[in-house]
Amino acid sequence: MKALILAADGFEDLTLHFPWYRLQEAGIEVRVASPLMHVLTGEHGYRVEPDTTIHEVNPAEYDLLVIPDGVCGEGLRIREEAVDVARTFMQEGMCVAAIGHGAQLLISAGSLDGRRVTCSPGIRDDVRAAGASYRDEAVVVDGNLLTCRGADDLPAFAQAVLRMLAKVRV
């Protein structure tokens, strides 16, 4: 199995590193893609070197897309290649996990209409305006889409994402 994390500068450090390491621990190959091939810096100063650019990503090679929290969601949503990758994952029914502000990328991809979603409270009105049903819960799973409120809910996120992937493996 392979997972793809889309990231840009300003990611919320825990919401990138925790899923990255937890997925690796479960035996899943994880790659980080960013708009450019430069070292990314998180909100708290942690740095990540991407494996590839988003432009080079072939969604068919992955089983899961992870979008971390932080201002990187805003940076990703203005990059058409990131919007295209997210849209492809959603349209193809592939597993997508968005944490906190990561849902902003899915809004730009036009992928939340009619979906049940949680997110950072700061963007709940945006999620509703995109046609989603907002839930103030740690984690919400709606078919192939898993959303998480934020860093405080990462333990529940990890359990849910691994359950989701176990269904894909069958």
Closest CA to 34 of 59, 13, 5, 10: 5
Pairing of strands 116-117, 133-134: parallel
Classify the C-alpha dihedral 134-120-4-19 as positive or negative.
negative
54, amino acid identity:
I
Q: 3-state class of 164 per DSSP? A: helix
Please give the structure tokens belonging to residue 72.
Answer: 């990187």
Active-site entry in 38, 44, 55, 101: 101
Q: Does 101 participate in catalysis according to the annotation?
A: yes
Q: Please name every residue paired with 98 in a beta bridge, in sequence order, or none if there are none.
A: 67, 147
Catalytic residues: 101
